Structures are given as structure tokens and as C-alpha cells.
Structure 1
Amino acid sequence: MNNFSYQKATDVNHAISIINENAENKIIAGGTNLIDLMKYFVTEAETLVDINKISDINELLELPNGGVRLGALMTNADTAYHPMIEERYPLLSKAILAGASAQIRNMATNGGNLLQRTRCYYFYDIHTPCNKREPGSGCSAINGYNRIHAILGHSENCIAVFPSDMCVALAALDAVVRISGPDGNRTVEFSDFHRLPGDTPQIDNNLKLGEIITGIELPEKGFSENYSYLKLRDRSSYSFALVSVATGLELEKGKIKEARIALGGVSHKPWRVKEAEDFLIEKTPNADNFAQAAEIILKGAQGFKDNNFKIDLAKKAIVRNCMMALDPTSQRPGAKPSL
């Protein structure tokens, strides 16, 4: 790890002023990803700006529109177990609890979750070419071992995936990201926050230089009656998703009134296809219709030798998760959804 300075910020504006003094200054909160990146020499920091003492972005607030604002400094654990989240946004609670370990969730913050970086083996190995780490050097994963890599939205420059579970649920819920920076405050629709790799795989999101996340806003609708989060991985504890699915359904008189389906583990950002969600409107909620929606979502998917299996796995996961959303009690340990 390289040497760095350390400074505590007293409020949001103070933090912004410090990080704008030097492009190599970085925000630290929980540090569950940043410290790893520094230890492996993937990233460096001139100054770490500790924002943990900023009190006005560490709590949950109800909004006049019926929604909820999650403070960027709230931990993942406090968010997942908050009574209001468990009751009104259980999809988000389930997704958070599927991620990492209890110890990490106790440290990791909501803002940091949005900013975590890929766990691609080659990104972490500084002795291998990686366009995300060193633009123009090449992508070792394309012709390397790529079992965990992207099948959607990738480019010839990068096939890495975004690792968050929480963000898959936030994508399905149509969350909004609140941001502060040198030019003031702004909001970004969650679907527009993360980026596909294209020709600039080193840029993970649309946060501007010198900006910090201050909160995440959830709309009033939380799909608390019909929801499910499914994470398929190599082991059931502390492992990143091969494929994950967040589903929220609104049902009326035996038909689907609204559907939200977001995928994780398959792309450089949480993956949603509105065409598939629109297809399900006024359809009967059954396996056949969910399978047709899955075909729409995976249209154009391309694997790379070791991860070809993900395409079929994702389709089956979508159907299974949508069926589970019809009866959230099917998500209890040992329960099996009927397909």
C-alpha cells in the first residue's frame, strides 16, 4: 500500500472542497472496497477524506411524496434491517442481505455500495493487461478465464461485471441518486448512474470529478406484496453472483399490472429491459409468460467460452424468481416454488 494522508471532513461542503484540491484525493467511509484496491496497488490516494462524522447523510428520512431517502452513510446492515425497509421495500432488504458477509455489511455504506468496483480477477492483478485499470492495455478476460464475466452490454474493451446486489434491487425500484459537488446538488435516475464499458471501461459511473453521493431516494411503490430476489452463486455465503434477479410485480384481478425485472452478475451495470416488462402487462403471471419475458431480456446475449452457461442460467433464474415473487413465502429456506 502506498503512503497517504488522512483528513476528516466536518460536513459535505468540507469534503467536496478537500477532494477537489487534488484528483488523487479519495473519499473513505466504510472502506470495504477502497482499502482492498489500495492494498493490491490497483488504486492510490494522496489523501483519504473520512466522511463518517457527517451527521446529515447517515439516516433514513420519509419524504413528502411517500418515498424514502436513504443516507449515503447508512450502513448496508442498518438499511436492510430498518423496519420501514423491511415492511415497505422488502426486495431491497433481501438483496442487501444476499451480499457480502454480516461483518462487511456492518461496515459498508449505501453510497460506497454504488461505487464499488468489479471483482474481475484481471482487474485486481496489476501484472496483467486491463483496460479498466490501464486504458489501452487490453482486456485479459476476453481470451482468459471468464466464467464470472458479462454476457450483456459488454464491449471489445471490457467484459467485467458490476458486483453489487443492493444495486440490482435499486434498479428494479427506480431509485434516484442524490449527488453534491462543486456546482451544487443534482439527482440522477438510477438507470443512468452506472455506465456500460464501451470505449471507456475505466469509467464506472456518471459521477463527476469532485462529486460525492449524499443519498438514495426510493419512490413510494416498493412492491411489498409480490417481490423476490434470487442470487445464484458458487457457494451460499460471501460469494458474488453468477446471475442475480430482482423482481417486483403488481397484480390485479389475476393479471400483471406492472412488472420490474433487473439482473445482476451479467453486465457492467444492473440490467433492465423495459420491453420485457411492458410485454408482461395484462398477462397472466405464469411460467410461460415469464419465459417469454426472459427471452426478450437476454436477446443479444453473448458468452465467452467459460461463461456461455450464464445465458441459459439467467433465463431460468428469471422464470424462477418471477414465480417466487407471486408468493414471497416461497423464499423461506427449504421452500420450493411451483413452476
Structure 2
Amino acid sequence: MAPHLSTFRALVAEQGAAGERFQLTVKEMNAQDLPEGEVLIRVQYSSLNYKDALAVQPQSRIVQRYPHIPGIDLAGTVISSEAPQFQPGQAVIVTGFGLGVSHFGGYSQWARVPADWVVPLPPELSPAEAMAVGTAGLTAAMSIDALERHGLEPSQGPVLVTGATGGVGSFAVALLAARGYRVAASTGKAAEQSYLRELGAQEVLSRSELQREAVRPLEKQAWAAAVDPVGGRSLAFILASIQYGGAVAVSGLTGGGDIPTTVHPFILRGVSLLGIDSVYFPLERRYALWERLAKDLKPTGHLDRIGSRRISLEQVPEAVESILSGQLKGRIIVEV
């Protein structure tokens, strides 16, 4: 059947009355409903990210127009392409750019996207494994890559990972351990110590140890670097505790957007704060990091450990509540 005659299922977010929760409903759609783009993809899997949960909250204003199909990640096969670099049947990944935010996303059996958003699926990964990684794993890989470009090496000392049971944190722990780093993992979930140690953490800290009521301009030097997808008040303590010349790669703000810090770590210890943006990260560097993720994680078995839970489109609304309440561990793969 020709693509323009076919229908497909998608999870659609629709805006209700002012201040009310958005409605999330699985609906039948057709190709004419999709936005413009050179590549039409049959989506097999997506994933659930904190940003996906925020996209269906009226107060977040992440999405500007509704009805909308969320999902900032997708993996599938090309149905048709106007771009010569992609052929029908080719396995591909799309993450970031406008997917699931300004452009219909991955919670849909079909997606049409610009060709310069598309990355070929590394042959070592299945589509499901790629979505176990998704934006979270890519962000972790970007964070470690930024720290290593800054000069980080395993011999320099332990690396702190905050929010360690979340998607970015879990992958950061596993990737750092696989590359020979000593990892200190911070979490608010005391029951998940064994999970973090299985991923490779040598030390597990309580979240409260980083959230000091009073942070001195400079604390005792504790870590060579940090991967921080949390931000907020704890980042002030982390910056004050990084070793001389070290760096913090920050990629999130679940702990808040304000940092009650001083300039002292930057001008007296030469500490650097490295911002990580997975949305517009250059395409040519994305594929190299996807290959690195496959090489470092595939042999460890951690892909299955981190992305062990799968849900259907119909189960996404319930899962959104779990991620917003901080109950999620690892990654959730959405079977489309």
C-alpha cells in the first residue's frame, strides 16, 4: 500500500482548558498529518525522557502548539527518502533537534523528519538497544567526551555522577567504569546501591551529602570531575569540591536552575563548568559517539540492565507520572 494511503497509530497530546492536564490518547492518523521532511520512517521504538514528561505538562511551555505527538527519540527503518544518503529499509536513529518538541516525535508508528536529523543505526546495536540509550545515553557520552577533551584521565582521581539511577546518570556510571575511571555515584534512592555497583560504581553517596545548607567558597578537593544532570543547589557544593583544574559537565536542571555559588572555584582552582546540549549537537559527531556507546557498553551487558523495562504507547501516560515523581530507575523503552 502506498504510504500516503496508509494509516498509523500515534500518541497525541491535546490541550484542554487552561491549567488542566493535557489529554494523551492513542489515535489513528495518516501521512498527511505529518510535518514536512525528506525522510519517512517506520518507527519501531522510542523511549521516555524527563523532557517528554515535561512536554505534556501545561506549565512547562516546552511545546508551543497542540495537538502534538511527543517523543524526543526514535529508532526504526526508512520507508522512503528524498535524500540520497538514506535508502528504504535502512535502520536509523533520530534524537534531538526539534523532534518531539517543535516537530512531531517518536510516539508514532510513522515519522517524517529532515534528513539532517537522521543518524544511521550502528550495526552493533538493535533498534531497541538504541532506544535504551536514546538521548539520555547520548548525553552521558557527550558529557564524558567533553570532560576528556578538557583533559580528564582515569589516573587523576574519582569522577562524581549525580542523579545516578536516572537515564543520564546510569549511562554515565557505566561508561566511566567501562573506560577505567573510579566512579562515585550520588542518588536519593538508598535501595539502589546494588544497581549502581553492578554498573561499576565503587562508591555510592546519598544525595543529601551534596545538598549542604551552607557551602563554603572552597570545600575539600574530592573529585577530579563530575557528570551532573541535576543542577541546582548541589552543583554549588560540587564546584567547590572539584580538584584543581577539574571540570563539571552539566546537562540538566531537575534540581533547579539556580546555582548559589561564588567565583572562587573558577578563579582559585581553575575549575571549569562545561554545558552539555544534546539538542543541536553536530550530526557528524553524533555518529562517532553512537559508535563509542556501542563499543563501550555492548560487551558489558549494561544496556539490558539499564533499559530493562518496555511499555506500549497506551502505558506512556502512567509512566510519565513515575518519571515526574522521581521514581524511574534506568530507562523505559516504548514499543511503537
Normalised by the size of structure 1, how large is the TM-score?
0.28
